[in-house]
Chains A and B, each alone.
Chain A
Amino acid sequence: ETGVTQTPRHLVMGMTNKKSLKCEQHLGHNAMYWYKQSAKKPLELMFVYNFKEQTENNSVPSRFSPECPNSSHLFLHLHTLQPEDSALYLCASSPRTGGSSYNEQFFGPGTRLTVL
């Protein structure tokens, strides 16, 4: 286990539903990330949080809303999704804080999302 957990592991939702994905890391890291993985774009960065502050939003539609209440937890709130949003959503964390250091990203197992 890498110390990064995600729930649920599988989720099926309709386009009018509201659901949330949860990520938790037990590694004492300060940076957390959401990625979308699909056949079209294998690993697409969505959001980056550093010390609970959002530092990157890669032009993600507003129907995806991240929340980072503390350095150990990251949520992705979903509402009015489209079928093309079906994908594997991966969370990752790293000990990166500031400065010019380099740090490995540890990935969670992902949530397989299907939008009907």
Chain B
Amino acid sequence: GENVEQHPSTLSVQEGDSAVIKCTYSDSASNYFPWYKQELGKRPQLIIDIRSNVGEKKDQRIAVTLNKTAKHFSLHITETQPEDSAVYFCAASMPRDNYGQNFVFGPGTRLSVLP
């Protein structure tokens, strides 16, 4: 089955600096890669996603890159702000005909943005 690894497990950056979180996956059939942000005491929420037919996607201060050959994808946050502090989860998914969608999540990265 699919296995997703995520690094680093914790990350501290100064406000205004950039943060990069990297994930690798094992199943080459996975073709959808979302990123979720979970603030303390709150539910995970989707912040950006990328399909396997795209190499990069950007939404304001956040971007995701995908390297299908190497089976890794990364989250980039620029100009970090204190409200970016949270746990970030990457996931790999492979839609299955008539069977819905199965997600395998990485172990998470705790990002702290220091003022």
Report which A residues bind B (CB closer than 8 A): 2, 30-31, 33, 41-45, 48-50, 55-56, 90, 94, 96-105, 107-110
Query: What is the chain B residue whose CB lies nearest that of A105?
Result: B103
Interface size bracket, B side: 20 to 34
Cα(A47)–Cα(B91), bound, Å: 16
A-B contact count (CB 8 A): 73
Report which B residues bind A (CB closer than 8 A): 31-32, 34, 42-46, 49, 51, 87, 89, 91, 93, 95-105, 107-108
A48 touches B105 (CB 8 A): no
**Majority-rule SS of B interface residues:** strand
**Majority-rule SS of A interface residues:** loop
19 CB < 8 A contacts A-B: A2-B43, A33-B103, A42-B105, A43-B91, A55-B99, A56-B99, A56-B102, A90-B44, A94-B101, A96-B95, A96-B100, A96-B101, A98-B98, A98-B99, A99-B97, A102-B31, A102-B101, A104-B46, A108-B43
